Amino acid sequence: MTQSGLLNGAERLRARLDKGGILAAPGAADALTARLVQEAGFEAVYMTGLGATAARLGTPDLGLMTQSEMAEQARSFVRACALPVIADADTGYGGPLNIRRTVQDYALTGVAALHLEDQESPKRCGQLQGTRLVSRAQAVQRLEALVAAREEIGSRMVLIGRTDALQPEGLASALERAKAYRESGVDLVFVDGVKTVAEVEGIARGLEGPKVVSLVDGTEAASLSRDSLQEMGFTVVLYAVTALFAAIAGSRAALADLHSAGRPKTPPVASYADYAKVVDLEAYQTFSHRFEGLEG
């Protein structure tokens, strides 16, 4: 990792967005997966709240992660890889002062962008039924507080206003909310909870300007290619659960083999050398060897 992984993530993300073309940001549940996203050649990584909750607590995404836990998870991503980190900030974890603190803490971690949603607290995954929303006026006020908090500290962090209105209230309501959220001063807007191609196309037709879409593996919407999304006018596409679901499947299969055979599978699906490459073991050892003999 270089210093570019620790500094100016927001500036680097803004420069990338200014270049145009859609930015793909796979989700990572932990810092190790963030390194894998970087190794795969992507230009940004998404700290998914669902994944972070699963990795840290082993629970569903039902608002159980605290603000400090999420900020620390984000910090670990920034330390681990050189990519700009786009982070889930849920509902801001309370009122205006809580939102202000969230902006301050996320900025201090080096996060490049965050998104704030319009659910009531405790929130839940946008793909689940039973989502409850605050009023549009309350949601706009939250985002205005978000923007003001960023201005107060002079941060360049990219701010994203997210609505979860699509499933409980329908496309028309989600679009009206997203348009109102854009007026708050955020940089991008994000209609979450898409499941069908028609919903993605409806968002693209009905929402002008920079926008985010999140595709969830197993939904019809996930069949859309990145080129298609770019043609529709999306700025960022998040693949929140692709790596998480693959990790679950891979770990489950390996453990089942171990349980049934009584020994690890041969040949292994990955080796110690693979692991050492992902965590950059050689660079750590090289640095340490420069100063051997100084202890004691």
Indicate the number of domains in the chain.
2
Q: Is 149 helix (H, G, I), strand (E, B) or coil?
A: helix
Whether residue 12 has pLDDT greater than 50: yes
Confidence at residue 266, expressed as pLDDT on a 0 to 100 scale: 81
47 and 160, same domain (yes or no): yes
Residue 268 has a pLDDT of 80
Helices (H) then strands (E): counts for the chain: 13, 8
Predicted confidence (pLDDT) at residue 129 exceeds the cutoff of 70? no
Q: What is the pLDDT of residues 45-57, one digit of tens each?
A: 999 999 999 999 9
CA nearest neighbour of 217 among 191, 237, 242: 242
pLDDT at residue number 5: 45
Share of the chain above pLDDT 70, in %: 94
Which one has a higher pLDDT value, 292 or 58? 58
Q: 161 and 72, same structural domain?
A: yes
Distance CA 94, CA 27 (A): 25
Residue matched to tokens 């159980």: 64
For residue 1, name the pLDDT band (cuts at 50, 70, 90): very low
Cβ–Cβ < 8 Å for 81, 28: no
Which is it for strands 113-117 and 158-163: parallel, antiparallel or unpaired?
A: parallel
Residues 113-118 have a mean pLDDT of 98
Model pLDDT, residue 269:
83
How much helix, strand and coil, in percent to the nearest 5, is found in the chain?
50, 15, 35
Q: Which of these ranges, 1-15, 23-37, 80-94, 261-275, has the smallest mean pLDDT? A: 1-15
Give 4's pLDDT tier (boundaries 50, 70, 90): very low
Asked whether residue 86 carries a pLDDT value surpassing 70, the answer given is: yes
Q: Is the pLDDT of residue 296 over 80?
A: no
How confident is the model over 96-118, as a mean pLDDT?
Answer: 97
| Residues 139 and 276 placed together within one structural domain of the fold | no
Q: What does the alpha-carbon distance between residue 21 and residue 1 come to, in Å, rounded to a whole number?
A: 26
| Amino acid at position 107, single letter | A
Sign of CA dihedral 89, 151, 11, 17: positive
Domain that holds residue 270: 250-290
In whole angstroms, how far apart are CA 197 and each of 124, 128, 257?
23, 18, 38
Tokens 């836990």 belong to 69
Q: Say if residue 211's pLDDT is above 60.
A: yes
Q: What is the pLDDT of residue 121?
A: 75
Judge contact between 212 and 239, C-beta under 8 A: no
pLDDT tens column, 14-40: 999 999 999 999 999 999 999 999 999
Query: How many angstroms separate the Cα of 84 from the Cα of each of 8, 88, 110?
Result: 8, 13, 9
State which amino acid sits at residue 209: G
* Residue 244 and residue 257 in one domain: no
Are 131 and 144 in a shared domain?
yes
Do 116 and 228 belong to one domain? yes
Looking at residue 188, its pLDDT comes to: 98
Per-residue model confidence as pLDDT tens digits over 189-201: 999 999 999 999 9
In the 8-state DSSP scheme, what is residue 122? Answer: S
In a domain, 62, yes or no: yes
Q: 263 and 241 in one domain?
A: no
Same domain, 17 and 92: yes
In angstroms, the Cα distances linking 114 to 171, 193, 221 are 23, 17, 23
Quick check: is 295 in a domain? no
Task: Tell me what the mean pLDDT of segment 150-179 comes to.
Answer: 97
For residues 149-160, average pLDDT: 98
Residues in CB range of 130: below 8 A, 6 or more apart: 124
Q: Please, are residues 175 and 207 in contact by the beta-carbon 8 Å criterion?
A: yes
Does a structural domain hold residue 296? no
Q: Is residue 242 part of a domain?
A: yes
Q: How confident is the model at residue 127 (pLDDT cuts 50, 70, 90)?
A: low
**What pLDDT does residue 122 have?**
65
